[in-house]
Structures are given as C-alpha cells and as structure tokens.
C-alpha cells in the first residue's frame, strides 16, 4: 500500500497519477486469425506490460511527464516483469501493492499485421482487487491529473478526492 502517513515532498510530485490494472502482454503479429487445428506463423512477437492507464503513463513518461501508477501487482515472474518495465520506462511505482502468492493478469494479444485489429485472450489474475482503503487522499490530490481505467469503487473515491482538490480527472 502507498503509505497512508505520506508526507508529500513538493519536489517529487508527479504530474499524472494513474489507477488501473496492469498486465503482461504477449503480442503476436499474424497475417490472419488462426483456427483450431491450424498453425499460423507470427511475423513479430513482443512481450510488454499493458493496461489502458499503464500504457498511457508509459507514453507520458517517454514524453518527459512525471507519472506515478497505483495498482495491485503480483509477486510472480510476470509481476516482476511488469514492475521492471515500469521502472525502465521511468514510471514511479512506489504505490504499487505487491500481493504474495498470486498470479498476474497475462494477456495473449493477436494483432492482424494488415489492419492492426486485435483480439485478446486473458489469464485472469488471482490477486484481490484494489480498494479505496488502499489509496491515500494526499497522494491522489498531489498530482495535477488523475487518470483512471474504470469507474470501480477505488477509482470513484479517487475521482471525488481529485475533484474536491481542483484536479483534472480523466478516464
């Protein structure tokens, strides 16, 4: 959990805080969607971390915007990969909650090499969901912008805090 007794240092405030899910994505670029009983060769394979807000924060970090991500993550090898990807990309993960003995959400993404259309198959995580009690009011209102994946309970609470603090909130 992000420290609930957090004392905000104005020199390390992120411009954007994001709340959402994070995944280990296995992307296969294929000429056509495979069928059962048929083999299709991929022209490209990538392994990267994903999730709507997670991807946006990486993009912003690459553009020089300071970002922080709040989520629950697992202690399995995919969770380690996700954390290392965020760190390599410059996203602050000091508020990631690591839950032991659980599985990370892993996604097989098939990408049509001609159209870019995608389809997804997921291995759901076994981690408990993020809750509003996992959040810190001062942390949420410290950023200029709050970016959310969903309208679930913790996101709604964070949005209320951001709004009351005069912050911009986007989904």
CATH number at residue 132: 3.40.1190.20
Count the neighbouring beta carbons within 10 Å of the beta carbon of residue 53: 26
What span, in angstroms and rounded, lies between the C-alpha atoms of 126 and 70? Answer: 18
In a domain, 96, yes or no: yes
Domain that holds residue 77: 16-162
Phi–psi pair at 123, nearest 5 degrees: -105, 110
Average pLDDT taken over every residue of the chain: 91
With a CB cutoff of 8 Å and minimum separation 6, the contacts of 166 are none
Q: Is residue 167 part of a domain?
A: no
**Domain tally for the chain?**
1
**Is residue 88 in some structural domain?**
yes
For residue range 56-93, list pLDDT tens digits in order. Answer: 999 999 999 999 999 999 999 999 999 999 999 999 99
144 lies in a domain? yes
**Full 3-state SS string of the chain:** CCCCCCCCCCCCCCCEEEECCCEEEEEEEECCCCCCCCCCCCCEEEEEEECHHHHHHHHHHHCCCCEEEEEEEECCHHHHHHHHHHHHHCCEEEEEEEECCCCCCEEEEEEECCCCCEEEEEECCCCCCCCHHHCCHHHHHHCCEEEECCCCHHHHHHHHHHHHCCCEEEC
For residue 6, the model assigns a pLDDT of: 44
Which residues have C-beta within 8 Å of that of residue 74, sequence separation ≥ 6?
98, 99, 102, 103, 104, 125, 126, 127
* 4 found inside a domain: no
Domain contains 11: no
- Which residues in the chain come in under a pLDDT of 50? 3-10
Q: 1 lies in a domain? A: no
Amino acid 125: pLDDT: 81
pLDDT at 54: 96
What is the Cα–Cα distance from 162 to 155, expressed in whole angstroms?
10
Residue 132 placed within a domain: yes
Quick one: pLDDT at residue 3?
Answer: 47
């Amino acid at each position: 959990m992000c420290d609930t007794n957090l004392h905000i240092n104005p020199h390390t405030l992120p411009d954007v805080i994001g709340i959402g899910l994070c995944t280990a994505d296995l992307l296969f670029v294929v000429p056509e969607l495979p069928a059962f009983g048929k083999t299709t060769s991929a022209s490209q394979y990538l392994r990267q971390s994903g999730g709507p807000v997670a991807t946006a924060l990486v993009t912003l970090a690459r553009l020089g915007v300071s970002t922080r991500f709040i989520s629950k993550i697992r202690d399995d090898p995919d969770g380690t990969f996700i954390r290392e990807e965020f760190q390599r990309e410059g996203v602050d993960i000091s508020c990631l909650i690591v839950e032991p003995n659980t599985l990370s959400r892993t996604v097989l993404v098939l990408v049509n090499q001609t159209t870019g259309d995608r389809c997804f198959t997921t291995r759901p995580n076994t981690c408990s969901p993020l809750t509003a009690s996992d959040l810190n009011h001062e942390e949420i209102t410290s950023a200029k912008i709050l970016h959310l994946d969903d309208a679930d309970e913790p996101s709604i609470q964070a949005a209320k805090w951001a709004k009351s603090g005069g912050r911009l909130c986007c989904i």
